[in-house]
Amino acid sequence: MRWSALSIGLLALVSLTACKTMPLAAMPATMVKSAVADETGPGQWKVIDYARAPTVDDIIDDLTSRRVIFVGESHERYHHHLSQLTIIQRLHARGIPLAIGLEMIHQPFQQALDDYVAGRIDETEMLRRTEYFDRWKFDFRLYRPIFAFARKHGIPLRALNVPSEVTRAVGEKGIAALPPELRRQLPESLDRDLAGYRERIAAVFGHHPGAKDRNIEHFIEVQLIWDEGMAEAAARYLREHPERTMVVLAGAGHVVDTGIPQRLQRRLAVPMATVLQLDSGLDLSAAPADYVILAQAQELPPAGLIGVVLKQADRGMEIASIAEDSHAAEAGVAVGDRLIEINRAPIEKLADVRLQLWHRKPGDRVQLVLLRGKGAFVRTLEVEVELK
């Protein structure tokens, strides 16, 4: 029996919507393990007694006694982030002083998070200053409810991830080849020998695109730096703020025992809990957690799109093609034009485009400034496009 088959029947019983928070089922990991099929056939299969499975509200008493709560995610799944938000809301309602640790923001950009929570900058400026669309790239709307809740209630957001300049260099040539300026940004200690870690990461390696052309040792070192770096950043904050409980939001593979938790425990011995989600893509019988959440899949509403394919140009982004159902062509956009402004904001790279469009909806209208022609025949055009 596969986990996907098990989830089909269960997901219909549990709901989490974007418009309001509803109870989620959360079952202890021991209950999850009991659902694994015996080899002897269907008659011997063990099942989950769903009526006895606790909701998130039922497990909050336990979570309030922990200093760190890891809530894993598949980055692109909206209902995973809504589950994370539910846990944060429930803990906050209990009066627990919280901080939220974020894999998706790199440590050098902590000041931008502080300014956002304090109300000194808005979301778009925070995304610009954290270089979110250069470094993380997932639709920010997935995380927006969590960020907005933290800002509304003054909950510190903490950047946990190590700079991508470090992990990119390690992925190419390994830790030993790092120049001094990047080596200084490594975690202070790296435990390469944690039991089971290498085997788990090596198993993941084969599923990554282009694995045959990459060095597995460098890949393992990148994951090690990620996990140790996030653990170190979390431990540092918790030591400096002993009154705070931290909810760590990170990919499911980072919050299993040999990822961040044991590495954080090595630095700071505090009570912890791990929460995973049933459709995380992990073999849950081999990735133990304290609780596993069952939630119905939820999708983000459609984003507003210009309806063009872009490629980098010498100045701005070149229109490589236009979708048939886009309003761009009827507004006067042509293949070969170079997009240099959206709503008076300069466009130099794709991240600039995403920064201007991330919060736009279908039906919104945007002002584009385009360059057409070459050399002495370049002219500037301004057009208004309705997003699809």
* pLDDT single digits (tens) 323-364: 998 999 999 999 999 999 999 999 999 999 999 999 999 999
User: 250 and 374 share a domain?
Assistant: no
Check whether 10 has a pLDDT greater than 60. no
To 5 degrees, how large is the angle CA 370–CA 374–CA 377?
Answer: 90
User: Which pTM was predicted?
Assistant: 0.87
32-53 pLDDT tens trace: 544 444 455 555 555 667 778 7
158-194 pLDDT tens trace: 999 999 999 999 999 999 999 999 999 999 999 999 9
Cβ(303)–Cβ(357) below 8 Å = yes
* Domain assignment of residue 51, given as a range: 3-294
User: 275 and 137 share a domain?
Assistant: yes
The predicted model gives 48-59 an average pLDDT of 81
User: 321 and 358 share a domain?
Assistant: yes
Q: Tally the domains of the chain.
A: 2
362-375 pLDDT tens trace: 999 999 999 999 88
pLDDT score of 15: 31
251-303 pLDDT tens trace: 999 999 899 999 999 999 999 999 999 888 887 777 678 999 988 899 999 99
User: 276 and 185 share a domain?
Assistant: yes
Neighbour tally for 46: CB within 10 Å: 12
pLDDT score of 3: 34
Report how far residue 273's alpha carbon sits from residue 285's, in angstroms, rounded to the nearest whole number: 17
pLDDT score of 153: 98
* Residue 352 CA, distance from chain mean position: 20
223-249 pLDDT tens trace: 999 999 999 999 999 999 999 999 999
User: 290 and 325 share a domain?
Assistant: no
Task: Dig out the tokens for 99 from the structure.
Answer: 């901080």
Report how far residue 73's alpha carbon sits from residue 280's, in angstroms, rounded to the nearest whole number: 7
pLDDT score of 13: 30
The pLDDT mean for the chain works out to 88
Neighbour tally for 386: CB within 10 Å: 17
Asked if residue 302 belongs to a domain, the reply is: no
Question: CA dist 338 to 307, 311, 372, Å?
Answer: 15, 9, 7
User: 265 and 223 share a domain?
Assistant: yes
User: 273 and 339 share a domain?
Assistant: no
User: 314 and 198 share a domain?
Assistant: no
Asked if residue 303 belongs to a domain, the reply is: no
User: 83 and 51 share a domain?
Assistant: yes
The last residue of one of the domains, among 266, 294, 322, is 294
Cβ contacts of residue 161 below 8 Å, gap of 6+?
Answer: 102, 103, 104, 105, 106, 107, 226, 229, 230, 233
The predicted model gives 197-221 an average pLDDT of 80
pLDDT score of 37: 46
Helix, strand and coil percent figures for the chain, each rounded to 5: 40, 20, 40
DSSP letters of 103-120?
EEEEGGGHHHHHHHHTTS
| CATH code at position 372 | 2.30.42.10
pLDDT score of 40: 52
Report how far residue 133's alpha carbon sits from residue 107's, in angstroms, rounded to the nearest whole number: 15
Cβ(54)–Cβ(303) below 8 Å = no
User: 285 and 379 share a domain?
Assistant: no
pLDDT score of 254: 95
Please indicate whether residue 32 or residue 115 has the higher confidence score (pLDDT): 115
